[in-house]
């Protein structure tokens, strides 16, 4: 379990080095599957890489629109157009 979790975390960190590559998408999907298989909570950094509605890989730097409004961070998916909010202080 700990070894799988360490591998999944390493994949998550590697994704952020070059999020535009096809390898990054495969690594993110693999890390997500590992966390689901071991029934462990996904880290915040990994959750940001996927749209909550269409479940597609969409890193915030490339295929999401990010806006800040009224104490909220608004993310809009570039593929399906879903909008979701995350409060910040």
pLDDT at 47: 86
Average of per-residue pLDDT across 25-54: 89
pLDDT at 43: 87
Extents of the domains making up the chain: 1-49, 55-89
pLDDT above 80 (res 77): yes
Using CA atoms, how far apart are residues 68 and 28, in angstroms rounded to an integer? 26
Using CA atoms, how far apart are residues 10 and 47, in angstroms rounded to an integer? 15
Report yes or no: 77 and 50 within 8 Å, Cβ to Cβ: no
Place of tokens 């509605």: 53
Helix axes of 22-37 and 2-15: crossing angle, nearest 10 degrees = 150
Average of per-residue pLDDT across 66-70: 93
pLDDT at 74: 93
């Amino acid at each position: 379990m700990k070894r799988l979790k360490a591998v999944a975390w390493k994949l998550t960190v590697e994704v952020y080095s070059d999020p535009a590559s096809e390898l990054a998408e495969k690594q993110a999907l693999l890390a997500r599957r590992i966390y689901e298989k071991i029934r462990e909570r996904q880290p915040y950094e990994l959750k940001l890489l996927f749209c909550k509605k269409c479940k597609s890989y969409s890193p915030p730097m490339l295929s999401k629109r990010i806006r800040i409004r009224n104490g909220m961070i608004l993310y809009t998916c570039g593929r399906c157009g879903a909008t979701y909010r995350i409060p910040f202080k």
